[in-house]
Structure 1
Amino acid sequence: MNWDDVYAAMFGGLPDYGDILALVANSVVAGAVLGLVGGLIGVFVLQRDMAFAVHGISELSFAGAAAALLLGADVVTGSIVGSVLAAALIGWLGARARDRNSIIGVLMPFGLGLGILFLSLYPGRSANRFSLLTGQIVSVQSSQLNWLIAISAFVLIGILVIWRPLRFDSLDPQSAAARGVPTTLVSLAFMLLLGLIVAVSVHIIGALLVMALVVTPAAAAMRIASGPLSVPLLATVFGFVSAVGGILLAIMGTLPVSPYITTISFGIYLVCRLAGRSRSRVSRDA
């Protein structure tokens, strides 16, 4: 399946939305899964003040995907290699926030520069290059969907396994260390899980806008909720709505999928921010 199939579906005679939707069913499923898992892991990203790290990891993921594209290898595999490498470096060397931000600041331009170099050497279609930056609505092939689901399931299970020590370390790292929580191991495990979900998100929404699935839904949820269960649940719902809603809108247009996903995600955040502000004002008045 490629863009020519979708173009033919839109302008060559398939009569209804359902027929067009069938052509991108893999992307819808992948987007739904990534929206759910990205929203969940984003809660811990914000609690650990690591939103900047998501962007740093995505740049190395972009470089790995671009290298795979140049070499004729699987793009998802290259993206995963780049993400995991970046996540491991940040988790291992960036124990303190100041060190972590410095490392990310070094990795981001390096990864972006490598990715641009590899894309400039790639002799194939320009659409393939562009999709690594902004996503591609038909980029998920049937052979790749199972891998995307398996990786997302692995990340979800990993988060659930380390949930309690990760939450303790995210909210109060000093107390967690004093209580014997292996904070370094927990941090490294979390970074590797984050690297995996960023890698597969890059394949859907592109390297430049991956934060719309991993950070924005959680940020929106934290504006209107504060409970240990309500925030993760709302974040997964917002991530799901952003990803699936963006894809469903994009298949009837000519733009990449990423502007639709980011617009929905930002709209949800804006509504939640206004709602949270109104609720705080009512509470103060009361």
Structure 2
Amino acid sequence: MMTAALLQFPLAAESLWSRIFVFDGYGELLSLLSQSVVAGAILALIGGFIGTFVAMRDGAFAVHGIAELSFAGAAFFLLIGFDVITGSLVGSIVAAVIIGALGTRAKHNGSLIGVLMPFGLGLGILFLSLYQGRSANKFSLLTGQIVSVDGAQVTEMAIGAIVVVGALLIVWRPLSFASLDPDVAAAKGVPMRSLAMIFMVLLGISVALSVQVVGSLLVLALLITPAAAAVQVTASPVKALVLSVVFAEISTVGGIMLALAGSLPISPYVTTISFLIYLICRIVGRVRRRTTGSGRVSAAPREASAA
């Protein structure tokens, strides 16, 4: 029996490989779905930017909470026959406003986010259970699907990128100061609550748009992992931002291009590439710290003094 299993292993491996990668007619398919690649590049730019501030504010848990309500909004709009992107955006904004209303306490109040997460997930499952349409539409809300993106959606994503990136650049200095040293920032009169609300709304927009690529369950791969990888190899906030965007682009665009050649959803490709980048950066950072004989320098003092 063991011998038979060993003999069948190469056939099983070949069958699995043929499901993951099928490059027959890849050039024509890539040309046909070029808008999907453009959309992925736009979303990676958003993820790289917003992810840097999420890392500064230790807001990974908030991203997950927003993603669950984004999923609920998308599922509800799918049920009633409306645009799921709009529903995702509505759910994200509602969650972002609730969390942002806590101001500087948001990152310390994990209990509220912990309540929002199962509530949003439960609503989403309820709406999907009531939906009688194609099962692929249900699956894509959880795991992501961008191959069907059209010109109007690309335009919508581009507008979202302009809003998010532009707003982050405008509030860069006070938001960085408030994120890295909130007590000192509050003492110096920085409008902490207003900045928190602005950031959470921008994060909500980013989550709603990113759900289209990796789905609501794996949105952290786009908004968290690239920035987390970047801070492993640099202590400079500016360099971390640049690397975060580069890593997000590689993960998202690379994942989409690989997904076009296979039969699997996009999310496994994106999340795998993103995790490998993080793993490599973590190893590189550890080697560099051993070589220099010092730990990774925190960017907080540098950024706070600059502010």
TM range (shorter): over 0.9
| Residue 25 of structure 1: how far off its partner (Å) | 1.6
For residues 40-83 of structure 1, give each alpha carbon's deviation from its aligned partner in whole angstroms, at most 9, with x where no partner exists.
11111011111011000000000000011011101110000000
Measured against aligned partners, the alpha-carbon deviations of 1:230-269 in whole angstroms (never above 9, x if no partner) come to 0100000000100000001010100000000000000000
Question: Would you say 1:255 and 2:264 are equivalent positions?
Answer: yes
Residue number in structure 1 paired with 2:292: 283
Which letter maps to 2:58? D
Partner of 1:114: 123
**Aligned-residue offset at 1:98:** 6.5
Deviation at 1:137, TM superposition (A): 3.5
Instruction: Tell me, yes or no, if structure 1 residue 164 matches structure 2 residue 179.
Output: no
Equivalences for residues 23-34 of structure 1 within 5 A:
23-34=32-43
Distance (whole Å) between structure 2 residues aligned to residue 195 and residue 177 of structure 1: 24
Show CA shifts across 1:168-201 (max 9, x none): 0011011111111101100110000000000000
C-alpha contact 2:73 2:91 (8 A) present in aligned 1:
yes
1:209 counterpart residue number? 218
Decide whether the 8 Å contact of 2:103 with 2:193 is kept in 1.
no
Quote the offset at 1:141 in angstroms.
Answer: 2.4
Partner SS state of residue 81, structure 1 = helix
1:8-50 C-alpha deviation (Å, 9 max, x unpaired): xx99xx9632210123222211111111120111111011111
Structure 1's consecutive aligned runs of 4 or more residues displaced over 2 angstroms after TM superposition are 97-100
Q: Which amino acid aligns with 2:288?
A: R
Residue 230 of structure 1 corresponds to 239
Counterpart of 1:16 in structure 2 is 25
Identity between Structure 1 and Structure 2 (%): 58
Check the 8 A contact 2:226/2:245 in 1, yes or no. yes
**Given the superposition, is the C-alpha separation of residues 120 and 143 from structure 1 closer, same or farther in structure 2, using an over 3 Å criterion?**
same
Residue 52 of structure 1 pairs with residue 61 of structure 2: yes
Root-mean-square deviation (Å): 1.6
Whichever of the two has the greater Rg, that structure is 2
Using the TM superposition, name which of 19-28 and 178-187 deviates more: 19-28
TM-score (norm 1): 0.92
| Contact 2:63–2:220 (8 Å) recurs in 1 | yes
Question: Is the 2:57–2:107 contact (alpha carbons within 8 Å) kept by the matching residues of 1?
Answer: no
- Output the CA distance in 2 between the equivalents of 1:47 and 1:26: 32
Alignment match of 2:195 (pick from 186, 194, 206): 186
Unaligned runs of 5+ in 1: 1-9
Whole-angstrom CA distance in 2 between matches of 1:86 and 1:64: 10
Q: State the Cα distance separating 1:203 from its structure 2 match.
A: 1.1
Do 2:146 and 2:212's aligned partners in 1 also have CA atoms closer than 8 Å? no
- Residue in 1 aligned with 2:17? none
**Residue of structure 2 equivalent to 1:95:** 104
Q: Is 1:148 equivalent to 2:157 in the alignment?
A: yes
| Structure 2 length-normalised TM | 0.86
Rounded to whole Å, the distance in 2 between the matches of 1:262 and 1:32 is 15
Distance in structure 2 (CA, Å) of the matches to 1:15 and 1:274 = 36
Equivalent-residue separation in structure 1 for 2:238 and 2:103 (angstroms): 29
C-alpha change, 1:207 and 1:139, in structure 2 (3 Å) is farther
1:191 aligned partner, one-letter code: M
1:97/1:145 Cα in 2 relative to 1: closer, same or farther (>3 Å)? closer
The runs of 5 or more residues in structure 2 that have no matched partner are 1-20, 295-307
By how many angstroms is 1:281 displaced?
0.6
Q: Note if contact 2:47-2:223 (Cα within 8 Å) is conserved in structure 1.
A: yes
For the residues of structure 2 that align with 1:120 and 1:94, how far apart are their CA atoms? 35
